[in-house]
């Protein structure tokens, strides 16, 4: 299976599970089996999964992750063994 096909399949599975095109930090942590703190650290360091930043007037920001970007991150960071 090509990376493109794998990303498409994984995106479909994520959509089936969460019924949304974007996931919150908590949902992304669940989907990737990473902690919320790790995702927050990645955002601070401009690393990891791309996200959309939604802010409000109170100064708190909310990050949303595209299921396609999550799938790409998982597929592209796969370690292949012999």
pLDDT digits (tens, 9 = 90+) for 49-74: 999 998 766 656 789 999 999 999 99
Q: 3-76: which CATH number, 1.20.144, 1.10.10, 1.25.10, 1.10.3470? A: 1.10.10
Q: Provide the whole-model pTM.
A: 0.88
Q: How far is CA 59 from the centre of its chain?
A: 23
pLDDT at 22: 97
Domain positions in the chain: 3-76
Each residue of 3-58: pLDDT tens digit? 999 999 999 999 999 999 999 999 999 999 999 999 999 999 999 999 999 876 66
Helix (H) or strand (E) holding 25: helix 25-32
* Integer Cα distance of 73 and 48 in angstroms: 8
């Amino acid at each position: 299976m090509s990376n493109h096909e794998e990303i498409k399949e994984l995106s479909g599975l994520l959509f089936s599970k969460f019924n949304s095109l974007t996931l919150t930090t908590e949902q992304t942590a669940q989907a990737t089996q990473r902690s919320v703190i790790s995702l927050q650290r990645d955002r601070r360091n401009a690393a990891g999964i791309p996200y959309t930043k939604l802010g409000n007037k109170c100064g708190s920001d909310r990050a949303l992750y595209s299921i396609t970007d999550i799938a790409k991150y998982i597929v592209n960071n796969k370690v292949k063994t012999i």
